[in-house]
Amino acid sequence: MLRIAYMRTLSFFYSLGDLFSKTIPIIKVEPEDLFQGHKEALFFSCGAYSVTCVVKTARTIAFKPLAVYYLLLSYGSKIMTTQTKKTTLASAMPDVQAADDYRQIAIDKVGVKDITYPISLHCPATGNVQHTVAKVNMYVSLPHDQKGTHMSRFLEVLNKHREQIRSDQIMSICADIRDRLEAPEAHLQLTFPYFIHKKAPVTQSPGMLDIQVTFDATAGDKNEFIMSVKVPGKSLCPCSKEISAYGAHNQRCEIEARVRFTAGKMMWIEELFDIVEKAASSPVFSVLKRPDEKWVTETAFDNPKFVEDIVRDLAIMLDNEDRICWYQITSENFESIHNHNAYAYIEKDKDECCE
């Protein structure tokens, strides 16, 4: 079977471009002859000098003749070295991503993933700025007839906004991606450590607790913003406490709440954090002096919780928060009696869901 890969044929084109520059006229193109009726092949005219052009093969890509320079040429059996030719064509570098696609398959998300980037978060409520480092994913939807997206533009948008990230304006950055990429829909995901200034419970020693925050925005026909906080806590097992003569197994746990806000409403990271942290048997801290450690130990013992209790108690708190219209919550407890974890998950969509 004759299979001419798309990029090869484009390379042929450059030879053609070279021919053109020598003003060789192309009278006619007979695609049918060339591809012997292969249904996926498209052909352009070209004449006297036996110019033949193939645009598409089974595994590759149709190409629109955006200009005469995009023609593809087999010049008899002679193949010029592509190296020197291409250099002369640098100014006419083809925009492969902007070409048409023939496969009729739209892509839900395409873009860049796992970018490590420094950002500055501004909190309009407090005026505070926090510098942190985010993992960033940026995607757009791609209509069925478009070959590819322009990956470098994502980074340009990110660079433009990175000093001014605000949770209440994340949608406008996402809209900027959509506009810059000329896409129907854009997605922006930022995941970063965020630092909560917390004093130890008794000695009031200052410290910072790192939580993981995610902003997940979609701009398109439907706009959506999901904020997520992943908060470390301490869980203490009620069963262990109950059945044991003394003590109770306890462990670090990680409680996550992903929430959507009711239309027109918002919460700051700290506000959501405050709720989530309450679901644990005890909060955790970065600096604990002995009286603080005593407090944490006793607080957890007084407040035993199964992983089920953590998500249920959190669900009740989020049910009571009318700024939140939808949530997904999980707790993963790094069981200190096993080498595996306990896990629970609840999702709820309140009816008055956000637009």
Residue 239, both tokens: 């069963």
Bridge partners of residue 209, in order along the sequence: 196
Contact residue for its own copies among 2, 68, 103, 143 (CB under 8 A): 103
Measured from the CB of residue 181, what is the shortest distance to its own copies in angstroms? 13
Q: In this chain, which of 123, 171, 175, 315 binds its own copies, going by CB under 8 A?
A: 315
**Cα distances (Å, whole numbers) of residue 79 to 56, 85, 147:** 20, 11, 28
Residues 46-65 that bind its own copies (CB under 8 A): 59-61
CB contact at 8 A, 220 and 186 = yes
Q: Which residue, 27 or 96, is less far from its own copies as judged by CB?
A: 96
Interface with its own copies (CB under 8 A), residue from 30, 323, 334, 350: 334
In the complex, minimum distance from the CB of residue 292 to its own copies, in angstroms, rounded to a whole number: 8
- Let me know if 156 is exposed, middle or buried by CB neighbors in 10 A (0-12, 13-18, 19+): exposed
Give the separation between CA 136 and CA 114, rounded to whole angstroms: 6
Residue 166 to residue 288: CA distance in whole angstroms:
32
Q: Which two three-digit tokens encode residue 110?
A: 């395409």
- Binders of its own copies among residues 193 to 232 (CB under 8 A) are 193, 195, 205-210, 232
Whether 300 and 277 have beta carbons less than 8 Å apart is answered as no
**CB contact set of 264 (below 8 Å; sequence gap of 6+):** none
Using the rule CB under 8 A, which residue among 182, 336, 349, 353 binds its own copies?
336
Q: How far is the CB of 30 from its own copies (least distance, A)?
A: 23
Residues 284-313 that bind its own copies (CB under 8 A): 284-291, 293-294, 296-298, 300-304, 306-309, 311-313
Query: Nearest approach, Cβ of 125 to its own copies (angstroms)?
Result: 20
Angle at 64 between CA 26 and CA 155, to 5 degrees: 130
Distance CA 30, CA 177 (A): 43
Nearer to its own copies, 203 or 266 (CB): 203
**Sequence-separated (6 or more) residues with CB below 8 Å from residue 259:** 226, 227, 228, 267, 272, 318, 324, 326, 327
Q: Which two tokens stand for residue 105?
A: 């398959």
The pattern of x and - marking residues 114 through 143 that bind its own copies according to CB under 8 A reads xxxxx-x---------xxxx---x-x--x-
Question: Per the structure block, which two tokens stand in for 330?
Answer: 């999980």
Nearer to its own copies, 36 or 91 (CB): 91
Query: How far apart are the C-alpha atoms of 127 and 83, rounded to whole Å?
Result: 57
Q: Which of 23, 67, 93, 264 binds its own copies (CB under 8 A)?
A: 93
- Select from 244, 263, 265, 353 the one that contacts its own copies (CB under 8 A): 244
Least distance to its own copies from the beta carbon of 342, Å?
6
Q: How far is the CB of 115 from its own copies (least distance, A)?
A: 4
Q: Which stretch binds its own copies (CB under 8 A): 17-25, 36-44, 175-183, 329-337?
A: 329-337
The least CB distance from residue 129 to its own copies, in Å, is 10
- In the complex with its own copies, the residue whose CB is nearer, 266 or 312, is 312
Pick the closer one to its own copies by CB: 26 or 101: 101
Q: Let me know: does 141 contact 107? Beta carbons within 8 Å.
A: yes
